[in-house]
Amino acid sequence: MSSATTLWRHARLATLAGPTGYGQVDDGALVVRGECLQWVGPVADVPSQLDVTAEHDLHGALVTPGLVDCHTHLVYGGHRAHEFEQRLQGVSYEEIARTGGGIRSTVAATRAADEDSLYTSALARARQLMREGVTTVEIKSGYGLSAEHEARCLRVARRLGAELPLTVRSTCLSAHALPPEFAGRPDDYIAAVCAWLPALQAQGLVDAVDAFCEAIAFSPAQTQRVFDAARQLGLPVKLHAEQLSDQGGAALAAGYGALSCDHLEHLSPAGVAAMARAGTVAVLLPGAYYFLRETKLPPVAALRDAGVPIAIATDHNPGSSPTLSPLLMLNMACTLFRLTPEEALRGMTVNGARALGLADRGQLVTGQRADFAIWPHEHPSEMSYWLGQQVQPRVVWGGQERTA
C-alpha cells in the first residue's frame, strides 16, 4: 500500500459527519494517506507538520463521499423491453411473472450467456455507475437459479471488484424466483438453495444473503429457511420485502438482524417498529416504483419518526429498474418519495454503506476510506436537483483519482 500523503484543498466539503446536516466545511481540505482520510477540516487548520507529497487545488468545487449503490442486479443476460411494452398496454408485472415472463425470462437469457459475455455487459454497467460517482456497489445474483449459474454470476461480480477500483459486495439472491425445473415444487427449490449456499460461501463468493418474499416469489416460511441457512454460515441477511404486498417480510428479516429491507412500499407500522428495534436500514428504490408505475408510497414519515435509517439505490435490473443513474435516483427520492436532498444524499452514502454492513465509508471523516467525488456544484442540494444532466464528477477511489 502506498504511504503517499496527498492534500486536497479549497474544497466545499459535504462531510455528512454527525447524525444530521450536510456537515459542510466551506473552505475545506482533505489529507489522504494511502487509502484513507488522515485529516479533514478547514484549510486554515491543516496541520503544518504533514509530509505532503502531492497537492490539488479544488477551487471551491463540492466534495462528497463516494456514492454507495447498495442494491443492484448488474449481472444478467438480455433485456425486457418487450415486457415494458406489455405493461404499458395494461398487463401487470405480476401477470407477466405468473405467465413465465419476468425474472424467469432473464434467467433463460442469463443461462444462455457465457461467463465472459456476462462479465462484459456487467462491466459496461458498472463503469456507467462509476462515471456518476459510485465507489461502492452491491451486486446480487438471482438470475442463475442453479448452483452452477448462481456461482457464475457471483464470480462475475467478484471479477468486477478485482479489476475495477470499485468496491463490490456480492449478495446471494438465489431465492429470487422459482426456476422452471422446480415448477410446482418451491419447497424443494428452497431446500436446494440452502444446500448450495455453503459451497458458494466456501468459494468466497458471498457477502450477504437476500430473498424475494412476495406472493409471486417466496413465502415468509420459505424465506425463513433461507435465513436459517445464512445464519448457520454466519452470513448477514437482507430482504426484498413488501414491494407488491404486505407479507410481514420486514418484521421477519428484522428478527434475523437484517442489514436492510428493500422496496417497502407496503410496509406496515409493525414492520417499521421491528426494523427500528433491529437497526435495519430501509432501502428505498424510486426507480422500481417509477418504472412499475406503482402508486403506493413507502411510509417515509413513519420510517423517519421511528429513526429507521433510509438508503437509496438504483436497483438496476432489466425488469423493474433499468436505470444506471444514481443521480436520477436522488432526484426521484425527493420528487416521488419526498425525501429532503440531504436525506437522499445520506441515503446513497452513509446509509447505503450501513445497508451493506460497511462502517468505513460514506462520510468524510478521519479514518474512513478515501473514496470521494468532486462535483461542479456550489451546494450539496444540487446533487438531487439537476435532473438528467449526466453530471460527471472527478472520482477518487481509495486515495487514487481515476477515470471510469
Residues 119-158 contacting ligand NIG, CB under 6 A: none
Question: Nearest approach, Cβ of 94 to ligand NIG (angstroms)?
Answer: 11
Cell of 377: 456544484
Residue 266 to residues 126, 177, 220, 300, Cα–Cα distance (Å): 30, 20, 15, 11
Question: Nearest approach, Cβ of 262 to ligand NIG (angstroms)?
Answer: 7
Q: Is 287 in the site for ligand NIG (CB under 6 A)?
A: no
**Which ranges of 13-171 would DSSP assign to H, the alpha helix?**
81-88, 93-98, 103-112, 115-131, 147-163
Q: Is 286 in the site for ligand NIG (CB under 6 A)?
A: no
Question: Nearest approach, Cβ of 122 to ligand NIG (angstroms)?
Answer: 15
Do 22 and 342 contact (CB within 8 A), yes or no?
yes
Out of 137, 251, 288, 344, point to the residue binding ligand NIG (CB under 6 A).
288
Measured from the Cβ of residue 199, the count of other Cβ atoms closer than 10 Å reads: 13
Residue 363 binding: pick among ligand NIG, Fe ion, none (C-beta 5-8 Å cut-off by kind): none
Residue 260 binding: pick among Fe ion, ligand NIG, none (C-beta 5-8 Å cut-off by kind): none
Out of 5, 106, 170, 201, point to the residue binding ligand NIG (CB under 6 A).
106
Contacting positions for Fe ion (CB under 5 A): 315
Out of 29, 37, 40, 103, point to the residue binding ligand NIG (CB under 6 A).
103
Nearer to Fe ion, 11 or 70 (CB): 70
Residue 294 binding: pick among Fe ion, ligand NIG, none (C-beta 5-8 Å cut-off by kind): none
Residue 41 to residues 13, 91, 341, Cα–Cα distance (Å): 9, 54, 23
Could you tell me whether strands 24-33 and 5-14 are parallel, antiparallel, or unpaired per DSSP bridges? antiparallel
Residue 139: strand, helix, or coil: strand
Q: Is 102 in the site for ligand NIG (CB under 6 A)?
A: yes
Residue 243 binding: pick among Fe ion, ligand NIG, none (C-beta 5-8 Å cut-off by kind): ligand NIG
Note every long-range contact of 194-203, with CB atoms under 8 Å and residues 24 or more positions apart, other chains counting: 194/225, 194/226, 194/228, 194/229, 196/147, 196/150, 197/172, 197/226, 197/229, 197/230, 197/233, 197/235, 198/229, 198/233, 199/147, 199/151, 200/147, 200/150, 200/151, 200/154, 200/172, 201/233, 201/235, 203/151
Q: Where does this chain touch ligand NIG (CB under 6 A) — which range of 118-126, 251-259, 315-323, 339-347?
A: 315-323
Nearer to Fe ion, 130 or 177 (CB): 177
Residue 141 binding: pick among Fe ion, ligand NIG, none (C-beta 5-8 Å cut-off by kind): none
Distance CA 194, CA 181 (A): 17
Nearer to ligand NIG, 6 or 320 (CB): 320
Distance CA 243, CA 246 (A): 8
Question: Nearest approach, Cβ of 254 to ligand NIG (angstroms)?
Answer: 19
Nearer to ligand NIG, 103 or 264 (CB): 103
Do 146 and 174 contact (CB within 8 A), yes or no?
no
Residue 28 binding: pick among ligand NIG, Fe ion, none (C-beta 5-8 Å cut-off by kind): none
Residues that bind ligand NIG (CB under 6 A): 102-103, 106, 212, 240, 243, 288, 315, 317-321
